[in-house]
Amino acid sequence: MKQIQVTGKTVEEAVSAALEQLQASRDQVEIKVLEESKKGFLGFGGKPALVEVSLKPDPIEQAVAFLQEVTMKMGVPVTITQKKMGEEVILDLSGDKIAILIGKRGQTLNSLQYLTNLVANHHSNGFIRIILDAENYRERRRESLERLATSTARRVMMTKKGIALDPMPSNERKIIHMALKSEKHVETSSEGTEPYRKVIIRPVTK
């Protein structure tokens, strides 16, 4: 993390000089005032302000570093590639033991995704949504969730009773909602708190 100390006649002047040196905006840095400026007597004995300005860590870089450290400790080192799709950042993991990181029905991957989002957003000014994928698992999972949505909707229509699905991350819940969006006989909602939030499929009551 790049860090510099700069003096100026005032704190604001010192901060402005630091931002110019770092070529950064105010929201990209952390500012610590080490010494306030002091006016001298009759123009003598004045003291400039001293500030320490640090570039904030890049949230995606922090997320990638976290993943590399965790997977290494799990004994499953991975190669991580990233791409941006709309408002989401996708981190794709690949390696020799990738099935361990996916886990049963993607539970391990979802847990890693939840923790990675916590790390990234701890270092971010705005909200960042990170999706973890592992050798195209998310596409296979999407197809499985769409089948689950359809079959569950049929059960709901037959029994006239609502069914709660297992907890899922927001991107998976969205797949369920979209799969049943045009279905006139059932409705969906998300209930609970993360990471235990789940989709409820209910019959439409007239």
CATH number at residue 64: 3.30.300.20
3-state class percentages of the chain: helix first, strand second, coil last, to nearest 5: 40, 30, 30
Task: Locate 129 and state its tokens.
Answer: 């949504």
73 in the same domain as 117: yes
- Three-state SS at 200: strand
Q: Give the N- to C-terminal CA distance of the chain in Å, as an integer.
A: 59
> What pLDDT score does 41 carry?
60
CATH number at residue 161: 3.30.1370.50
> What pLDDT score does 42 carry?
57
Residue-wise pLDDT for 94-115, tens only, equals: 988 899 999 988 889 999 999 9
64 in the same domain as 101: yes
> What pLDDT score does 1 carry?
56
Question: Which segment of 11-15, 108-112, 127-131 scores lowest on mean pLDDT?
Answer: 11-15
> What pLDDT score does 187 carry?
96
CB 46 within 8 A of CB 40: yes
CATH number at residue 13: 3.30.30
151 in the same domain as 113: no
> What pLDDT score does 155 carry?
96
> What pLDDT score does 181 carry?
94
- Give the chain's domain count: 3
Domain span including residue 40: 3-55
49 in the same domain as 66: no
> If you average pLDDT over residues 1-19, what whole number do you get?
79
79 in the same domain as 48: no
Where among 82, 113, 135 does a domain terminate? 135
Q: Is the pLDDT of residue 45 over 70?
A: no
> What pLDDT score does 202 carry?
96
161 in the same domain as 95: no
> What pLDDT score does 36 carry?
81
Residue-wise pLDDT for 140-179, tens only, equals: 999 999 999 999 999 999 999 999 999 998 889 999 999 9
37 in the same domain as 101: no
Q: In what order do the strands lie in the sheet with 3-8?
A: 3-8, 49-55, 29-35
75 in the same domain as 126: yes
Percent of the chain with pLDDT over 90: 51
User: For residue 4, how far is the Cα from the chain centroid?
Assistant: 29
185 in the same domain as 165: yes
152 in the same domain as 167: yes
